[in-house]
Amino acid sequence: MRVLILAANGFEDSELLCPMYRLAEAGYQVDIASLEWGEITGKRGYKVAANLSVDDVSPDGYRLLLIPGGKAPAALRENGAVLELVRQFAAARKPIAAICHGPQVLISAGLLKGRRATAYKTVASELKAAGALYEDSPVVVDDIFITSRMPSDIPFFMKEIIRILSEGRGGCA
């Protein structure tokens, strides 16, 4: 059972590390993809190994895509391969979880129009402009999309992610 975290330099450390460890604890193999294979560094200096380049990834074999926030989504949303990968996960009906600024990648991929979603408060107007139905809640689940606002929401975010994965949504891998 595999899950994919999509991140880049400047990720919000807790929003990558807490889900990574929680998913591993639940028995999932966690892969990290970035714009290039190699080490990426969080806003607070934590380093993680991106064992995959976004160009080398497809949704096949994954149960979930998770996009942490921080400054990384600003770089990710400008990359065509990233947007295509996110659209492929959505087309395959695999759960996509995004926290803080992570929903910006979903906005750029054109996936949130008419969907309920949340994000960090500075992203709320962008969600609304993209046609999303913004909710100021710790976690919002709408179909395959799981969104959260900030690091303090991680317990709520992870509870929903684990629940959805345990229900078998996202196919087998």
| Residue 73 resides in a domain | yes
Residue 148 has pLDDT above 80, yes or no: yes
Q: What is the pLDDT of residue 22?
A: 98
101 is catalytic: yes
Q: Are 111 and 91 in contact (CB under 8 A)?
A: no
Name the active-site residue from 77, 101, 115, 149.
101
The pLDDT tens digits of the residues spanning 62-104 come to 999 999 999 999 999 999 999 999 999 999 999 999 999 999 9
| Residue 171 resides in a domain | no
Tokens of 110: 């054109």
| Residue 172 resides in a domain | no
* pTM of the predicted protein model: 0.96
| Residue 13 resides in a domain | yes
Tokens of 69: 């926030």
Triad 40, 78, 95: Cα angle to 5°: 75
- Counted domains in the chain: 1
Quote the domain boundaries for residue 39. 2-166
| Residue 112 resides in a domain | yes
- Domain containing residue 17: CATH number: 3.40.50.880
DSSP secondary structure letter of residue 94: -
What is the C-alpha separation between 70 and 78, in angstroms, rounded? 15
Q: Is 100 helix (H, G, I), strand (E, B) or coil?
A: coil
What is the C-alpha separation between 93 and 135, in angstroms, rounded? 23
